[in-house]
Amino acid sequence: MLITPCDKKTPHQLVPFIALTKPSEYESLFLDSTSRIFGCHFPIVCLPKSITEEEEDGSTNIKIVYLCRNIKDTFVSLFHFANNIGVRSSPISLEEAFHLFCKGTNVGGPIWDQILGYWKESLERPNKVLFMRYEDLKSEPHAQITRLARFLGRPFSPEEENSEMIDQITSLCSFGSMSKLQVNSTGHFSSKVSNSSFFRNGQVGEGNKCLTPEMAAKLDQITQEKFRGSGLKL
């Protein structure tokens, strides 16, 4: 089976942000599919009960996939993105952005609280919430894609696992492949945000390269304190 990339729509058109989508637009977004997939940056406590609640028998028609990233890499990515799209009239300095991030002044609230919320739900309701790490997707894409497919109720058949299908998916969905598509490198997501602004470099470990040793140590300290006793390590 040959898998071809979607070169007509951006990832954000295929998986639109629910906060930016009007209810009246839902049907038109998914005319060719029986499944609706939305993205968001909301903490789980802010999601409507229609999404988070399960049926009385414990089953669920709506599944949540949460993808997190190393805290230091998350901050550096957010810092560059905010300046790239011009959130402010003038660029924010690394020091000021770092101060606000440590205070929890962030889209979706303090990043540690958001991550912990989904982590705890994934432990309590593994059939409802799948917790994934960006670093795992980079280091073991085959295993993580298989895990995701199984969670969504669309597991690969033995024949598909033994074929090149998963390798093709990994290649086509890689940062290098996605960033080179014309649809992602040209045009605009909105009047102020270009499609290319979502593709900077996608590297793991950039936080340690871009932050001062003091900044890195502070984020490590906050992360350790916030996650203590949870069993979660990032």
Residues with catalytic roles: 41
Query: Packing angle between helix 94-103 and helix 71-84, nearest 10 degrees?
Result: 120
Backbone angles phi, psi at 65, to 5 degrees: -110, 120
Contacts of 142 (CB under 8 A, 6+ apart): 166, 167, 170
Cα(16)–Cα(39) distance, integer angstroms:
6
Q: Which two tokens stand for residue 142?
A: 């085959």
CB 116 within 8 A of CB 227: yes
- Three-class SS of 145-199: HHHHHHHCCCCCCHHHHHCCHHHHHHHHCCHHHHHHCHHHHCCECCCCCEHHHHC
Separation between Cα atoms, residue 146 and residue 68, nearest integer Å = 18
Nearest in space to 200 (alpha carbons), one of 42, 40, 85, 39: 85
The answer to whether the beta carbons of residues 68 and 118 sit under 8 Å apart is yes
At 119, list the tokens: 């982590």
What distance lies between CA 201 and its chain's CA centroid?
15
